[in-house]
Chain A
């Protein structure tokens, strides 16, 4: 009896001793706060990596002039006829451009050292240093005449060699950094002003720079208005006609037909959503091609075959909205159908005996119950339509003639893929940023709306 009690006591003591420190060091895990942070860390990292980082990068790129020409790493300083023209046109420094662009010959120690290296007669070098050091010539002929007149009388070949060593023209020169360019320019024109240096650096820099020009350009471009109107048109029409309107029609009709056909019907309407976009759009293209179904069918009636999708702007819009609409309608249909299903059957019975025919039931029973689902689908689909790109890209690619170019597609064409080949990452990012801002603002409004709704919607009567 005693022994066993002792064993029990002895046995429990080390256990306790071990358990206590363990509990102390991980005690914070037991508080919901500590554990919450641990559990949230992977999620937070994912959010930062995949949700925040793209937005932040877009915002950063939006304030640069990155393009295929500038690359996305740093650049060099390249003087070319082009940059000299920029200097003239943009900065009004015609004289500087002329000076830098002219062939210029300067007799300096650097050139003399080079001559020594080449093994030119030291007498000639000494003559040049004594008589011409520091002089500048703007024409080769003049300079060469001076060389020929030296006391040592160099041969014509040597004269050419010498003059080449003193050529200090900037035209077509490339410099790795700003210091080298400035040094070279000062060699030609020692009186270069700060403003002139600045302009020169700006004009010759081939890398990207920080700028707000993208937004200025966006605000003033006539294409902006057009694409914006296209986008609003596309979103509004697809949303009202299909994502909510047609979805509601589907949900309501399937509510009033027997369960089995209704289920089959819903699955059929769901197919566009779950079929791969490429294949789905390809089917539409087959339908609309000049050798496709529509053309073949109408051929029987003497209509000349043509591409019905890209035949005109109106046709293109019809197809774009149909293609996106059928895909988008399924989500609304499912949400509306389940919301309608959640309405107690007895309400429909009550409405029937109260004298309400079907369309009155729809109006007085179904629609009031769909208020929040409709709002939700509208909000959600506005956002997804604003960024919708795949189906339009695959079907019309914004054509014909940019008539179905919507904002997101425009971003894609500007920044990632266009015929001209100059991809303007910075400008595209600026456009994308506008879209992001609109999306965030809308989301915030919607979130408020839904939170608010959660507060004010009263519990429904229990059935």
Chain B
């Protein structure tokens, strides 16, 4: 089901958390709400499921205006960050709870509960209590409970935050599998860009209560709208250096480095201070614009090496390259940048 937040605002007393946010989630799509802590992701989620009353705007499920509908009637499945399983109920009772509350016939409750338990692979744990489950198992139960009532939309509030690295990887694909299998519209709240990029069809990047950009992961990675977005996506992260437009070129501040203007950028007038973003994978042995610097840090990541390159002006660029041992710490090197992959931002962070 399509979800539309139409000029939605939310404030707690005097604290304005979200103002005039418009966001559309397409039917069957999985959208990531990505942003730093405190930017209003949970608030948005709680508004969609009706736990928070909105202070302005509308929330539409399909064509139906849900703004004033209580959460009990919205038919939204939520996986809370803490899972919020009912500690006094068994796994089976937890999953069946939304159905029993709706007074479905007991045989039907049992059938659907078991079907859902099979879907998330917890058939063997039905008689246990939440306290007797591992984090990943609790997570699956929470997912089953959210899905069992066939909700209009599935909301996941940082569902993987409490899991260890391995389990997180496993549950990532598991959640995506279930979402694709059920074809449900889903919103995943996270502040982990890898999670957002690997699991979702589209990403909405939020900052301070505003949506900065909505796009597919690739699009957003290749074409960030602001420096904030560029900085949020990618690991190791993008590096920024200050420069100035000078005669159709970019002169790096306090360093004898000139970079060509990226082709897709609008050329600013001479003397304009700009910020140049260089992704680590675009700085290396091949490219068209040379950059000199000293290697100030080397980290071996197995297949690849991560280098920090300190320029004459003290700025640090990052480079990720195939593993090799021809360079070592404190070597002066001249590497190259692929100028068509540079991002150019104005002082205020807007992409040029």
A contact set with B: CB distance below 8 Å: 344, 346-347, 349-357, 360, 364-365, 368-369, 458-461, 463
Q: Which residue from chain B places its CB closest to the CB of A355 in the assembled complex?
A: B101
Q: Are B87 and A461 in contact (CB under 8 A)?
A: yes
Q: Are A354 and B97 in contact (CB under 8 A)?
A: yes
Q: Are B101 and A369 in contact (CB under 8 A)?
A: no
CA distance A458 to B97 in the complex (A): 21
Q: Counting CB contacts under 8 A, is B340 at the interface?
A: no
Q: Are A347 and B78 in contact (CB under 8 A)?
A: no
CA distance A352 to B73 in the complex (A): 9
CB-CB < 8 A to A460: which residues of B?
87, 131
Q: Are B88 and A349 in contact (CB under 8 A)?
A: no
Of A347, A355, A458, which one neighbours B98 at CB under 8 angstroms? A355
CB-CB < 8 A to B71: which residues of A?
352-353
CB-CB < 8 A to B88: which residues of A?
368-369
Q: Are B72 and A355 in contact (CB under 8 A)?
A: yes
Q: Are B101 and A463 in contact (CB under 8 A)?
A: no
Q: Which residue from chain B places its CB closest to the CB of A345 in the assembled complex?
A: B84
| 0/1 interface trace, chain B 88-100, chain A, CB 8 Å (1 if under) | 1000000001100
Q: Are A353 and B131 in contact (CB under 8 A)?
A: no
The 7 closest A-B pairs by CB, nearest first: A346-B84, A350-B84, A354-B98, A368-B88, A355-B101, A352-B71, A461-B130
Q: Are A356 and B72 in contact (CB under 8 A)?
A: yes
Q: Are B130 and A364 in contact (CB under 8 A)?
A: no
Instruction: List B45-89 residues whose CB lies under 8 Å from chain A.
Output: 46, 49-51, 70-78, 80, 82-88
CA distance A388 to B145 in the complex (A): 49
CB-CB < 8 A to B84: which residues of A?
344, 346-347, 349-350, 463
Task: Say yes or no: A461-B131 contact (C-beta < 8 A), given A364-B97, A368-B88.
Answer: yes
Q: Are B132 and A353 in contact (CB under 8 A)?
A: no
Q: Are B131 and A350 in contact (CB under 8 A)?
A: no
Q: Are A353 and B101 in contact (CB under 8 A)?
A: no
CB-CB < 8 A to A364: which residues of B?
86, 97, 101
CA distance A344 to B82 in the complex (A): 10
Q: Which residue from chain A places its CB closest to the CB of B73 in the assembled complex?
A: A355
Q: Are A458 and B72 in contact (CB under 8 A)?
A: no
Q: Is the interface of A mostly helix, strand, loop or mixed?
A: helix
CA distance A42 to B167 in the complex (A): 57
Q: Which of B50, B51, B129, B149 has the most CB of A within 10 A?
A: B51
Of A350, A360, A458, which one neighbours B78 at CB under 8 angstroms? A350
Q: Are A461 and B102 in contact (CB under 8 A)?
A: no
Of B101, B129, B130, B138, which one neighbours A360 at CB under 8 angstroms? B101
Q: Which residue from chain B places its CB closest to the CB of A354 in the assembled complex?
A: B98
CA distance A270 to B297 in the complex (A): 66
B contact set with A: CB distance below 8 Å: 46, 49-51, 70-78, 80, 82-88, 97-98, 101-102, 129-132, 138, 145, 149
Q: Which residue from chain A places its CB closest to the CB of B71 in the assembled complex?
A: A352
CA distance A346 to B45 in the complex (A): 13
Q: Apart from A353-B77, A356-B72, list 5 A-B contacts with CB within 8 A.
A: A344-B84, A351-B86, A355-B73, A357-B72, A365-B86
CA distance A346 to B71 in the complex (A): 14
Minimum distance in angstroms from A353 CB to a CB of chain B = 5
Q: Are A352 and B50 in contact (CB under 8 A)?
A: yes
Task: Say yes or no: A354-B87 contact (C-beta < 8 A), given A458-B131, A461-B138.
Answer: no
Q: Which residue from chain A places its CB closest to the CB of B145 in the assembled complex?
A: A354
Q: Are B80 and A346 in contact (CB under 8 A)?
A: yes
Minimum distance in angstroms from B21 CB to a CB of chain A = 21
Q: Are B50 and A353 in contact (CB under 8 A)?
A: yes
CA distance A459 to B46 in the complex (A): 29
Q: Which of A350, A365, A369 has the most CB of B within 10 A?
A: A350
Q: Which residue from chain B places its CB closest to the CB of A349 in the assembled complex?
A: B51
CB-CB < 8 A to A360: which residues of B?
101
Minimum distance in angstroms from A455 CB to a CB of chain B = 15
CA distance A460 to B74 in the complex (A): 29
CB-CB < 8 A to A346: which residues of B?
80, 82, 84
26 contacts between A and B (CB under 8 A): A346-B80, A349-B80, A349-B84, A350-B80, A351-B86, A352-B51, A353-B76, A353-B78, A354-B98, A354-B149, A355-B98, A355-B101, A355-B102, A355-B149, A356-B97, A364-B97, A365-B86, A369-B88, A458-B129, A459-B131, A460-B131, A461-B83, A461-B85, A461-B130, A461-B138, A463-B82
CB-CB < 8 A to A463: which residues of B?
82, 84
Minimum distance in angstroms from B220 CB to a CB of chain A = 30
CB-CB < 8 A to B82: which residues of A?
344, 346, 463
CA distance A309 to B254 in the complex (A): 95
CA distance A461 to B130 in the complex (A): 6
CA distance A461 to B94 in the complex (A): 13
Q: Are A353 and B51 in contact (CB under 8 A)?
A: yes
Q: Are B129 and A353 in contact (CB under 8 A)?
A: no
Q: Which residue from chain B places its CB closest to the CB of A365 in the assembled complex?
A: B86
CB-CB < 8 A to B83: which residues of A?
461
Minimum distance in angstroms from A137 CB to a CB of chain B = 94
Minimum distance in angstroms from A446 CB to a CB of chain B = 22
CA distance A360 to B100 in the complex (A): 11
Of A347, A458, A459, which one neighbours B86 at CB under 8 angstroms? A347
CB-CB < 8 A to A352: which residues of B?
50-51, 70-72
Q: Which of A344, A349, A369, A460 has the most CB of B within 10 A?
A: A349
Q: Which residue from chain B places its CB closest to the CB of A346 in the assembled complex?
A: B84
CA distance A458 to B85 in the complex (A): 15
Of A347, A349, A354, which one neighbours B101 at CB under 8 angstroms? A354
CB-CB < 8 A to B87: which residues of A?
460-461
Q: Which residue from chain B places its CB closest to the CB of A358 in the assembled complex?
A: B72
Of B74, B85, B86, which one neighbours A353 at CB under 8 angstroms? B74
CB-CB < 8 A to B72: which residues of A?
352-353, 355-357
Q: Are B97 and A353 in contact (CB under 8 A)?
A: no
CA distance A291 to B342 in the complex (A): 93
CA distance A346 to B130 in the complex (A): 15
Task: Say yes or no: A356-B51 contact (C-beta < 8 A), given A346-B84, A368-B88, A458-B132.
Answer: no
CB-CB < 8 A to B51: which residues of A?
349, 352-353
Minimum distance in angstroms from B66 CB to a CB of chain A = 13
CA distance A368 to B93 in the complex (A): 13
CB-CB < 8 A to A353: which residues of B?
49-51, 71-72, 74, 76-78
CA distance A460 to B138 in the complex (A): 13
CA distance A458 to B132 in the complex (A): 9
CB-CB < 8 A to A347: which residues of B?
84, 86
CB-CB < 8 A to B85: which residues of A?
350, 461
CB-CB < 8 A to B98: which residues of A?
354-355
Q: Which residue from chain A places its CB closest to the CB of B52 in the assembled complex?
A: A349
Minimum distance in angstroms from B257 CB to a CB of chain A = 52
CA distance A342 to B181 in the complex (A): 38
CB-CB < 8 A to A459: which residues of B?
131
Task: Say yes or no: A356-B101 contact (C-beta < 8 A), given A458-B129, A458-B131.
Answer: yes
CA distance A459 to B87 in the complex (A): 9
Q: Which residue from chain A places its CB closest to the CB of B76 in the assembled complex?
A: A353
CA distance A460 to B83 in the complex (A): 13
Minimum distance in angstroms from A407 CB to a CB of chain B = 38
CB-CB < 8 A to B131: which residues of A?
458-461
